[in-house]
Amino acid sequence: MENEKTVPSWWRIAAIVAAAACVVLAVLFATKPAGTSEPAKGSSGSEQNSASSANLSLVKDGEDPLSLWNDNAPLKKKLTEYVKAATDEKSPDFIPVEDRVATFDFDGTLFCETDPNYFDYTMLVYRVTEDPTYKDKASDFEKSVANKIIDQNTNGTKYEELPLEHGQAVASAFKGMTIDEFYNYVHEFMKQPMPSYTGMTRGGGFYQPMVQVVQYLQANDFDVYIMTGTDRLILRGIFSDPSCPIKLPLNHVLGSDESLVGSNQGDKDGLDYTFTQEDKLVTGGTFMMKTLKENKCYIIQREVAKQPVLSFGNSSGDFAMDNYAKTNPTYKSAAFQLCCDDLERENGNEKKAKEMLENCEKNDYVPVSMKDDWKTIYGEGVTYNGAKKSSDSASSSSAASSSSAAESSSSAKAA
Q: Is there a domain that residue 212 lies in?
A: yes
Q: Is there a domain that residue 279 lies in?
A: yes
Q: Which of 299, 285, 178 is nearest to 229 (CA)?
A: 299
The DSSP annotation for 169-183 comes to HHHHHTTT-BHHHHH
Packing angle, helices 208-219 and 74-86, rounded to 10: 10
Residue-level pLDDT at 63:
86
When divided into structural domains, the chain yields a total of: 1
The DSSP annotation for 212-251 comes to HHHHHHHHTTPEEEEEEEEEHHHHHHHHHSTT-SS---GG
Q: Is there a domain that residue 172 lies in?
A: no
Instruction: State which residues form the domain around 101.
Output: 67-111+178-414
Laid out side by side, the sheet with 197-198 consists of: 197-198, 383-384, 413-414
Q: Is there a domain that residue 124 lies in?
A: no
For residue 84, give the CATH number of its domain.
Answer: 3.40.50.1000
Query: Strand 310-313 relative to strand 101-104: parallel, antiparallel, unpaired?
Result: parallel
| Phi (first) and psi of residue 24, to 5 degrees | -60, -45
User: How far apart are the C-alpha atoms of 54 and 49, rounded to whole Å?
Assistant: 8
Residue-level pLDDT at 32:
38
**CB of 414 closer than 8 Å to CB of 208:** no
Q: Is there a domain that residue 277 lies in?
A: yes
Q: Is there a domain that residue 218 lies in?
A: yes
Residues of the chain with pLDDT under 50: 1-8, 10-11, 13, 17, 22-56, 389-410
Which residues are 197's β-sheet partners? 384
Per the rule left: phi > 0, alpha: psi between -120 and 50, beta: everything else, 381 is: left
User: How far apart are the C-alpha atoms of 260 and 169, rounded to whole Å?
Assistant: 15
Residue-level pLDDT at 91:
98
Q: Is there a domain that residue 162 lies in?
A: no
Q: Is there a domain that residue 264 lies in?
A: yes
